[in-house]
Structure 1
Amino acid sequence: MEKNQISLEVVHPNAAGIDIGSRSHWVAVGQNAEDVKEFGVYSQDQFEMCEWLRKKGVCSIAMESTGTYWQNLFSTLVGQGFEVILVNGRQTKNIKGKKTDIKDCQWIQKLHSLGLLSASFLPDSDTDTIRTYSRHRQNLLNQNASCIRRMQKYLRLMNMRLEVVVRDIVGLTGSSIIEAFLSGEHQGENLAKLRHYNCRKSEEEIAKALQFNGRKDYLFALQQEWNSYQHLQQQIQDTDVQIDQLLKEFIDNDHHKKQHFIEKKKHKRKNKNGLAQTDMNLLSYQYFEGIDLMAIEGINEGLIMAIMSEIGLEGIRKFPTAKQFTSWLRLAPNNKISGGKVLSHHIPKGSSRLKIAFRNTANAIGNLKEGWLVDFFKRINYKKGRATAVTALARKLAVIIWNMLVKGQNYNPPTQYLFLDEKRKMGMVKRIQKQITKFGLTNEDLNFITN
């Protein structure tokens, strides 16, 4: 009896697989020993690799996304005209036997030849440049936050309980007090006079909280941290200028983006960690080609900047459906079904920067008092808890934004959300209408208003 054999079709006949390393790269163009070669990581070695691949007739290349070691080689190969796909390491790790660099690159080449590897998402060059600045800025903000925590610690050890009487120790009141304290003023009564008029605590209470115990070692450490804080603030400002110039240059080079204009939203508060001198409302409206993401209640500059830097407008259009976009974000349930039964439907592990931005925005929306998205959040929160509600609302936000950016739809919720200045305006109109009804005024009586 003859046995039926199933053979896999070769999709990429002229394929190569590269195992990325920190000191060398292993390249395989076949499954024989002579088809594998090791190259260094220098620029000259990369060009030698391109020449060797071209002699072997290679057209398509697959490589693992190992740390940041792949980026220079990827750019070189793409610049030399090769078709390169970047593969998640989870797709290539199930190799039998002893693990070696030679077997790894041959296994990658074999899988790629059979078309069993899928390419990871990579943003375009402009988005990649914005992402570099944005991630660097986020790292500076994290360092800045750590510096503030250490300053708060040293102040507490010196019995200067500034964090008790002010909300932000580096705000207007806190900064003035710290600068005067480091300049030699250690009397609590004199330091309390630097209180800003908007500070909720009284001058007497602030003076009680600022009683220096004389520890010079902590004072020296506080001076060092304050210098570091000011240096980080200057670096953040310089980075903001670079991002602002880059976004404006990107928009100015595209006439279709530059032609859009929108009025400034007075009801949107400026986040202290946002771009200081940038009108993100106008820039985002132009960048997204006339789509106003700021119209969604609870959307802040952080999420807008994350979308611009992590995926970009062209990147989000690469996803054919909203389901694929939410699945890529790891916000959709990962249903595992066997025998007709759902074994699990948990959210996949892993958090990208964009997913974190969506979840932070969803959590902020959950703190609002009213709105269509708030009602959705409260329903899920009542049934399954806040953590599940944050994930569900983050997924809904991703679907809404995908429909707005890909299909060109405006945000149109079932119930309109009114911002603070809009609520005040509506309240004033209702009061005037009530007074008109109370006194029985007619159009003739009110004719002097229209004139």
Structure 2
Amino acid sequence: MNKKMELDIINLHCAGIDVGSRSHFVAIGQDLSDVKEFGVYAEDLQDICNWLLGNGINSVAMESTGSYWQNLYAELAKNGFDIILANGKFTKNAKGKKTDVKDARWIQKLHALGLLSSSFLPDETTEILRTYCRQRTNWLQLAAEASNKMQKYLKLLNMRLDVVVKDVCGLTGLKIIEDICKGNLDPNSLAKHRHYNCRKSEEEIAKALKGNNRQDFLFGLKQEFESYQFYQKKIADCDKQIDRFLKKQINLDPIKKKLKTKAKPYKRINKNAPKIELNQLAFQYFGGIDLMQIEGLSHATVLTIISEIGSEGFNKFPTAKHFTSWMRLAPNNKISGGKVLSHRTPKGSNRIKTALRQAANAIGNLKDTHLSNFFRKIAFKKGRQVAVSATARKLAVIIWNMVTKKQAYQPPTDYLFLDQKRKMGLVKRIKKQINKFDIKPEDLDFSTS
């Protein structure tokens, strides 16, 4: 006896859209007459919405194809449609020859049967901040390229500035390069720009700056220096825009605005960190949760978390396991016949995952902390690469619990930041001197009452 199995229709009045660069194919059913092609201009997007509304459609599914979906998504959302933005890997298994019409019908069929899940999308506020932060990252990458090219031209000029200074784009290096671009090629004069923190002496710096003075290399150095200055100005503009936007959002929220407690600014600020009060802004943005207390998290990492997911985005994940799985940091177990065939983390990445992996790598260089001890235990068993992924996942779980449950970071082993270590070292040296010279409180006119 033959049995026929049918799937129930979950979304009765739904449509599927195959998004393209020059046209969109919209399917409201499985017949060829139910598929219609539209353009990509603003009027065409409005025509799509009018056609869907005229056919009683209330739910739409489409692929996240490049950046072509964004304008269509915004127009559909404005007209009140329930939108499913699906990952392309869940819609690519259509049988037979691939065409745009068949893709649109296949997406509509999967959505009607309830087999598509929506991708994570941040709220509009976070999306705006994300644009500013990603633009800042682009300028940082261009500035790094200009810095590398400046070092290349200095080497071709036989001016080994990279040997005598730690950072060519530091205080000493930039002043020397600027003077060279102005036409000063005297090594002794250039060496006078030495900062007092520089370990090398003026004599050694002058010795390293005796070059061949080729005009073509000097021209290239000047061009790259001007580009570097331009990029730094653009980065500063982005910092100002991010600062204004964050303060505006905090002022709009009366609960966050009333927070009086200040975050502890213990961590050393990297030169590429945004020139804003990110410690306090992040503390208020997350409603009194100080992510900076987690060892290994830098200002750039916290800014990435704020701009990529936001404070409300964490609530879209029911558990920390859902959050780590979305970031592709959780093991992907493949089991057959009761045997685990593979447990590798799935392929794919996003900016938060990259930021947390960089933070995990920095944690691996720390000493005697809760997370660094965990890192070394995993690294001893399975290697550093696995330890980076495992520590990044642990960081994701900690951050999710802190933000969603409003819990402070309380590791079993306390981590001392640089300023705390200096304070403890100073106190220790003072106590040693007091014991050495047998100094008593009355000798220093200290009141003991």
TM-score of the aligned structures, taking structure 2 as reference length: 0.96
2:353 aligned partner: 355
- Paired residues in the alignment total 449
1:160 pairs with 2:162? no
Question: Quick one: distance in 2 between partners of 1:239 and 1:433?
Answer: 47
Q: 2:125 matched to 1:123?
A: no
Counterpart pick for 1:419 among 405, 417, 421: 417
**Residue in 2 that maps onto 1:377:** 375
Q: Does 1:220 align with 2:219?
A: yes
What is the CA distance between 1:432 and its match in structure 2? 6.6
Residue 316 of structure 2 aligns to a residue whose secondary structure is: coil
Alignment of 1:51-450 (within 5 A): 51-263=50-262, 265-276=264-275, 278-427=276-425, 448-450=446-448
Residues 263, 290 of structure 2: 8 Å contact kept: no
Residues in 2 aligned to 1:298 and 1:31: alpha-carbon distance in whole angstroms: 53
**Offset, 1:435:** 8.1
| TM-superposed deviation, 1:214 | 2.7
- Paired residue secondary structure (1:410): coil
- Measure the CA separation in 2 of the matches of 1:196 and 1:440: 40
Structure 2: distance between partners of 1:139 and 1:430: 45
Cα drift, residue 448 of structure 1? 4.5
User: Contact 1:331–1:394 at 8 Å: present in 2 too?
Assistant: yes
2:138 partner amino acid: N
Q: Alignment partner of 1:18: what SS? A: strand
Specify the SS of the correspondent of 2:138. Answer: helix
> Is the 1:261–1:282 Cα contact (8 Å) retained in structure 2?
no
Residues 59 and 83 in structure 2, CA contact (< 8 A), matched pair in contact too:
yes
Distance 1:175 1:289, change over 3 A: same
Query: Contact 2:262–2:283 at 8 Å: present in 1 too?
Result: no
CA distance in 1, matches of 2:118, 2:346: 19
1:61 Cα deviation from its structure 2 partner: 0.1
Q: Could you report, residue by residue, the CA deviation over 1:94-117 in whole angstroms, capped at 9, with x for unpaired residues?
A: 011110000000000000000000
Q: 1:7 to 1:163 in 2, by over 3 A?
A: same
Q: Deviations over 1:224-270 (max 9, x none)?
A: 11111111111111111000000000000001111113335352111
SS at match of 1:343: strand
Q: Describe the shift of the 1:153–1:424 C-alpha distance in structure 2 as closer, same or farther (beyond 3 A).
A: closer
Offset at 1:426?
3.8
SS of equivalent to 1:449: coil
CA distance in 2, matches of 1:433, 1:133: 50
5+ residue gaps, structure 2, are: none
Contact persistence 2:333–2:342 (CA under 8 A): yes
* Counterpart residue identity of residue 190, structure 2: L
Q: Distance in 1 between matches of 2:18 and 2:217?
A: 51
State the Cα deviation string for residues 298-343 of structure 1 (Å, max 9, x = none). 2211111011111111111111111110111111111111110110
Superimposed CA distance per residue, residues 99-137 of structure 1 (whole angstroms, 9 cap, x where no aligned partner): 000000000000000000000000000000000001111
Deviations 1:156-175 (A, max 9, x none): 11111111111111111111
- Separation in structure 2 between the aligned mates of residue 261 and residue 274 of structure 1, nearest angstrom: 25
Corresponding residue SS for 1:411: coil
Alpha-carbon shift at residue 182 of structure 1 (Å): 0.9
| 8 Å Cα contact 1:16-1:30 kept in structure 2 | yes
Corresponding residue for residue 24 of structure 2: 25
Aligned partners of 2:413, 2:128: CA distance in 1, in Å? 39
Q: Which amino acid aligns with 2:361?
A: N
8 Å Cα contact 2:441-2:448 kept in structure 1 = no
Q: d(CA) in 1 for partners of 2:261 and 2:267?
A: 14
Whole-Å Cα distance in 2 between the matches of residues 150 and 447 of structure 1?
Answer: 60
RMSD: 2.1
Q: Distance in 2 between matches of 1:423 and 1:159?
A: 41
